[in-house]
Amino acid sequence: MVKGGYTTPEKEMKEIFYYLIFPGFLFSALVGLMAGWIDRKLTARLQWRVGPPWHQNFTDIVKLLGKEVIVPEGARLTFLFSPYLGLVSAILVAASLGRIIISPANSFGADLIVFFYLLSLPAVALIIGASSSRNPLASVGVSREVKLLLAYELPLILSIITVVIKSNGSLQIGSIIQQQMFFGSNIFSFSGALAFLVAIFCMQAKLGLGLFDVAEADQELMCGTLIEYSGLPLAIFKLTKALMLYTVPLFIIVLFLGCSLSPALLIAKYLMLLAIMILIKNTNPRLRIDQVLRFFWRIPTLAAGAAVILAMLGL
């Protein structure tokens, strides 16, 4: 049976390839783990340390796969289920976003909203899993993660609305890319530049880096939300974080720097965002959760609101 130029088995094999190989799980996990190594290596060099070898993150994942899974007494089923929820959502975003970059015609209606919510699911999965562990330190981490999520989501939404306005109200990422190809990247305007700066801080918070790693806070909470996880579930959470380190910057690039997405320029833009994240992480101390809330609900939210108004004025 032939449908759309491919037989049904061929389509199924192509979908499996997209989601599991390229640009799906294996490719995005590889890039994310290597980006994590660059982060660790540059951080070490800034602190006059040697840093880990390039394969350290891969070794850590393999080692965790062989460790025993310890389930806390009284933990609910969600303790073991939640890591898979975050991983699946990150894989869906990585594969679908990669396909749209390769061919903007693959975009589907309102996919921007779908991607936004899928990118929020890893944080929700972490909240659900840690809250079911019944650990006091994990509970503190969950409380901070919930407040962090509430803090950065509003300015991030306003930044995305700015992009939607500049793209004539389109919610399709493919249309947003094509709009920038014809009229230039969104960052090259007052509203786009302002929204991009807000998105940078929201990205830092969504990835739990630098200023905003309050939910794990190793020195205070001993990994906080992840304190009770071990073995396979912990490996899945670390893989999800690596996937997010790949997908979130890529999402920002598509929205604000989508004029040209050739492989060389895409790599250069990704490395630029990665360098910015590492710079912010290593030049600022961690904020308290009340400082995080005040910061996001004041400066980024007001700036993102101003970007929306400027976009409506055509600036």
Per-residue pLDDT tens digits for 237-277:
999 999 999 999 999 999 999 888 888 999 999 999 999 99
Structure tokens at 165: 């306005």
The answer as to whether 5 is a domain residue is no
Query: What percentage of the chain carries pLDDT values higher than 70?
Result: 96
Q: What pLDDT sits at residue 209?
A: 87
Which range is least confidently modeled, 11-25, 107-121, 205-219, 265-279?
11-25
pLDDT above 90 (res 214): no
Placement of tokens 């806390």 in the chain: 72
Domain count, the chain: 1
The answer as to whether 98 is a domain residue is yes
The answer as to whether 3 is a domain residue is no
Determine phi and psi for 3, rounding to 5 degrees: -145, 120
The answer as to whether 4 is a domain residue is no
Q: What pLDDT sits at residue 213?
A: 86
Q: What pLDDT sits at residue 2?
A: 43
Q: Rounded to 5 degrees, what angle do the CA atoms 93, 97, 100 make?
A: 150
pLDDT above 60 (res 7): no
Q: How far apart are CA 66 and CA 234, in angstroms?
A: 11
Q: What pLDDT sits at residue 262?
A: 86
The answer as to whether 126 is a domain residue is yes
Which residues are bridge partners to 2 per DSSP? Answer: 7
The answer as to whether 2 is a domain residue is no
Residues of the domain holding 146:
11-312
| Residues 126 and 236: beta-carbon distance below 8 Å | no
Mean pLDDT (the chain, rounded): 88
The answer as to whether 6 is a domain residue is no
pLDDT above 90 (res 101): no
The answer as to whether 1 is a domain residue is no
Report for 5-19, 98-112, 245-259: range of highest mean pLDDT: 245-259
